[in-house]
Structure 1
Amino acid sequence: MEIVVGTWNTGKLAEMQQALSKSHPEIQLTGITQYLATKTAPPEIGTSYYENALEKAHFYAKLIQRPVLADDGGLELATFPELLGVHTSRFFKSTTDKEKNQELLALYNTPKLQDLKKRQLTLHACLVYVTPEGQIISAEDSLFGYLVAPKGSGGYGFDSIFYLPDLDKTLAQLTNHKRNALSPRVRALQKIISQIKEQEND
């Protein structure tokens, strides 16, 4: 069974493919690049992760006339709740993961914000599956942690600055298997794949 993923982010697609390789080997996730030669994307103007993911899924499903799985997510900073969230992708002036992480760390470059408790953050993910006929399936998940100086070399995005106190490690310091097990996107993916399969079997 092939499912087209509406993303141009190769790191995100690889994470999702790896996560399903053992739990659902019968599912083949294919990037939108296999169907569209020119990069195109809808404007992310929704007020929630769900609205943005739904917009992307509808956009690509209409273009390629196939069911599409799309996602939206973001980082929420407890100390600066108005800055990121659904606006995460628009917040950054930089393009590389390393530069984006430095932008976040710069927000806390004052003595009163050095306390780890003031650096609490939440990583959210929402996935939406849409068919050309308009059927919709969705799933969400979250992960809580703290912002720290970069540690580790695994993963991508915010993984090197996302610290998990229970494990005393950042996401980037974990094995791929452990990181996937904790990833909100992967956990939401497992939920939505189960729903899609149930629907296919009905």
Structure 2
Amino acid sequence: MLPPSFSSKLLYTMKKIILATGNPGKVRELNAMLNGHYSVVSQKDLQVKEIPETGSSFIENALLKARNASLQTKLPALADDSGLEVEVLDGEPGIYSARYAREGATDEENVKKLLLKMEGHNNRKAHFCCAMVYINDEKDTKPIIIERRWEGEILREPIGTNGFGYDPIFYLKDYSCSSAQLEPDIKNKISHRGQALDDLLSQLLRAE
């Protein structure tokens, strides 16, 4: 993350920002990563009405969510759309990661479906993809858009209790463990979301 010396400048330029996500896992991670840089408000706390994710890519969905949250709250918005892409499944579950098993599916249901589809496949390569968007307001014509990947492999059974989503079956060779076995502060530095947020904060500073 950025050095603490930047905190006061960021707090001065942006006292409050809305996180345009209803996923409690993402809210928890982004709050931890933004702590000391922004006064963060979840869109759920402001009763923002969510809209369908009708985009055909992570970036399109992130833009939709950011503009919707900013329109309803009149605050600058940060939105993230992310998911898991598995090589042997031609990129599945991709933008449907949160609803892979069905609309409103639990993490466990999505993981179970993915593991069933991976049976018989020796190629376990996969990556998480994160598209992060920042807008000043709903009419912002020059949003900051960042997209980052986190490489790994799909395990044959879940391991670990940290994180959320597909973390328990996402194996990291460099750490010899699943994403769900990482300490939160380590994950927040190396994950697709952590990389994207670092880049986003750097761009905000350069814009000042």
Q: Shorter-chain-normalised TM-score: which range?
A: 0.7 to 0.9
CA contact (8 A) 2:98 2:110 kept: no
Asked if the contact 1:17/1:28 (under 8 Å) is kept, the reply is no
Q: Once the 2 structures are TM-superposed, how far is the Cα of residue 186 of structure 1 from its aligned partner? A: 1.7
For residue 168 of structure 2, give the secondary structure of its aligned residue in structure 1: helix
TM-score (ref. length: structure 1): 0.86
What SS does structure 2 have at the residue aligned with 1:107? helix
Among 72, 85, 91, the alignment partner of 1:76 is 85
Q: Please state how far the C-alpha of 1:61 moved relative to its aligned partner.
A: 1.0
User: In the alignment, which of 19, 31, 45 is matched to residue 17 of structure 1?
Assistant: 31
The aligned counterpart of 2:60 is 51
TM-score when normalising by structure 2: 0.84
CA distance in 1 between counterparts of 2:149 and 2:167 reads 14
181, 187, 190: which one pairs with 2:198? Answer: 190
Instruction: State the Cα distance separating 1:98 from its structure 2 match.
Output: 1.9
Alpha-carbon shift at residue 122 of structure 1 (Å):
1.0
Q: Which runs of 5+ in 2 are unaligned?
A: 1-14
Percent identity of the aligned residues? 31
Supply the distance in 2 between the matched residues of 1:154 and 1:82 (Cα, whole angstroms).
24
Letter of the 2:135 counterpart: V
Report how many aligned residue pairs link the two structures.
190
Give the CA deviation at 1:82: 5.2
The offset of 1:185, in angstroms, is 1.0
Aligned-residue Cα RMSD (Å) equals 1.7
Do structure 1's residue 147 and structure 2's residue 150 form an aligned pair?
no
Residue in structure 2 matched with residue 121 of structure 1 by the alignment:
126
The answer on 1:7 being equivalent to 2:21 is yes
Structure 2 residue 169 is matched with structure 1 residue 161: yes
Secondary structure class of the residue paired with 2:175? coil
Cα distance in 2 between the residues matched to 1:102 and 1:125: 22
Is the Cα contact below 8 Å between 2:100 and 2:110 reproduced in 1?
Answer: no
Question: Structure 1 stretches of 5 or more lacking a match?
Answer: none
